[in-house]
A and B are shown apart, each in its own frame.
Chain A
Amino acid sequence: MLNKLSENILDKFSMDFLRNQVLKNAYGNDDTPIAALDPRILLVWYLFFGLVPWFVNDLPFLLGCFVLVTITTLLAKVAGLVLFLFGLGVFSQTGYLFLVTLLFGGNASAVAPLLVLTLKVATISLASITVFSGLDPDRLSNGLMWFGCPERLSFSISYAYRMLPMLMEEFQNVLLSFRLRGNPPAHETIWGKIRYLAYQIKVVIWAFYPLMLNTAKRSRTTVEALELRGYRYAAVNKEVKKIKLSTLQIRYDDWLFLAISALWVCLTVFVSTLL
């Protein structure tokens, strides 16, 4: 039974599954209402929902923000794995802290501040999920560039999204070839299981040796190709930046999105003053 369960989980977490989820997250949702918005507007929006909840301890306000970002996350059609990780992250963090607080003689009164903390963390993470997985990478990096982020960051984002599938596949191939040639220890007993685990970890570390060499070759090719196109000069040239960012335009939908968010936030403030 337990064996079957672990096999099942391992199936779920196969390399292909991970790759698909990441790709889906990056490119799979171009047609959502969130993806159609202007990246600059979304970044401003994120600036509010990523910062303000930290500073406010007002429960109705936090709840209102949480509801709003939940709705936007649903609109952005974020991949399931990301949401799962989000849940795991939020609840393992504060839940763990709560258990330890109990251990040190705290009582149920510790719940309230921790709940507020959880709400804050959840709101902020959901806002970031909306913006950073809702947008596709090119638009995101253009938006960041408009705000004067270093060219290198937007380059990294675009590069990462293009390269990641290839890198993952290569890593998988290296791992598989290690497995084909390797002789894993028998893992029937407990001791054998530990040795098997250690062996697996070792294989992963070994796999980075060929991977490092291959990636070194590839990054040289990449950089040389970039240099040929004058990347380092283009990166600091204002004219180039202007051409690159000319595709961005703010439409009524963007303002509407901001206005509705503002309306909702004002409503929560209003409710909290009434209470």
Chain B
Amino acid sequence: MNASQKTTATQSQKLMIFVLTMSLYGLATLFTELIPKFQIGLVEFSVEYFLFIPLTLAMLFDPLSAALGASTGELVFSEIMLGQFGGLGELEKFITVAIGVYIAGRLVKDPRNKLAVGAAALAGTGLQLFMGAVVDVLKVQFAVEDFEAVAGLPESVFATEGFAFLNDFLFSGILFCMLPTLYLVPRLYGKIEPLLGMAPRTAGAEGGVNLRVAGICVLGFVVAVLAELAATAGMALIDWEASWAESGTAMAAGMVVAAALAVIVLLALKKNSERNVAG
């Protein structure tokens, strides 16, 4: 029994898995961000979902590290590096990707079982897409003022989101997630693990989705929805803003004067300090 025979990963191996998934999935999402999508009618053909990369790695290694690595990679490479960071909204993507990949990784008990790998890949993708669609519908419902009042908007949102979900699931889910995963997992099995100093995952090691895992995932999803729907709290803020806007011309003028004063004082201080440095 030497060190490489252990089936559970050590802390540094977990970090390796994290770094590996992060850089690979980050690279892939960077491409998808850069390559424009093209649409034929309503059907969108996007090269989206290189999700097969984290899925493959989550099935071969520790699912949690791979899942966190994947969402961090996406966040860092394609959002922060390209300056497309959307603030709180990114939290939703972060969590849904992590949950999808994690669940898929947990579902596979033995990476040599092709049926399980394919099913888990589809389940993970479907879960991620479904959560994304739900959040999107809720988002539009809360973000657009007088949602119900705009004729045709509610139906259109449900229709486009539902359609996008089905389209993504059938098109990218099968073509870009299930098939590549089925291609990669058996080929990498037993080859990539020694590179990280680990033994391949075997049947009955860790795996399966129990109540605890499901509970954590549901909780994560709720957090994602809440983050995305911080706009609900905006309802109160809008009211507050409206009442204040009526009465507060004088107050606004006061704030303008205060801010202008601050600018002038700062300019003076800056000049002063520059003179001190010079003198």
Min CB distance, A216 to chain B, in Å? 4
In the bound complex, how far is the Cα of B19 from the Cα of A212, in angstroms?
A: 12
- B residues near A, CB below 8 A? 11-12, 15-20, 22-24, 26-28, 30-31, 33-37, 47, 52-53, 56-57, 72-73, 76-77, 79-88, 140, 143-146, 150-153, 155-157, 159-160, 175, 180, 183-184, 187-188, 191-192, 195-197, 230-231, 233-234, 237-238, 241, 245-246, 248-249, 252-253, 255-256, 258-260, 262-263, 266-267, 269-270, 273
Picked from A82, A223, A224, the residue with its CB within 8 Å of the CB of B82 is A82
Answer whether A105 and B34 are a contact pair too, CB < 8 Å, given A120-B143, A232-B11: no
Quick check: is A124 within 8 A (CB to CB) of the other chain?
yes
| CB <8 Å contact, B82 and A22 | yes
Q: Mark A122-136, 1 if CB is under 8 A from B, else 0.
A: 001100111111100
- How many residues belonging to A are interface residues under a CB distance threshold of 8 Å? 96
In the bound complex, how far is the Cα of B186 from the Cα of A261, in angstroms?
A: 56
| CB <8 Å contact, A205 and B183 | yes
Picked from A56, A117, A266, the residue with its CB within 8 Å of the CB of B241 is A56
Within residues 178 to 216 of chain A, which ones have a CB less than 8 A from any CB in chain B? 201, 205-206, 208-209, 211-213, 215-216
| CB <8 Å contact, B156 and A97 | yes
Q: Which 4 A-B pairs have the closest CB atoms?
A: A106-B152, A133-B83, A55-B234, A263-B259
Q: Tell me the total A-B contact number using a CB cutoff of 8 A.
A: 255
Across-interface contacts of A227 in B (CB, < 8 A): 12
| CB <8 Å contact, A259 and B266 | yes
Picked from B80, B143, B188, the residue with its CB within 8 Å of the CB of A132 is B80
Across-interface contacts of B56 in A (CB, < 8 A): 212
Quick check: is A238 within 8 A (CB to CB) of the other chain?
no
Known A-B contacts: A160-B73, A209-B187, A269-B245. Give 19 more (CB < 8 A).
Answer: A13-B34, A25-B81, A56-B238, A78-B83, A81-B34, A96-B160, A104-B153, A104-B156, A109-B150, A113-B146, A128-B84, A152-B72, A201-B47, A205-B183, A212-B57, A215-B24, A222-B16, A266-B252, A266-B256
Answer whether A125 and B84 are a contact pair too, CB < 8 Å, given A110-B153, A219-B19: yes
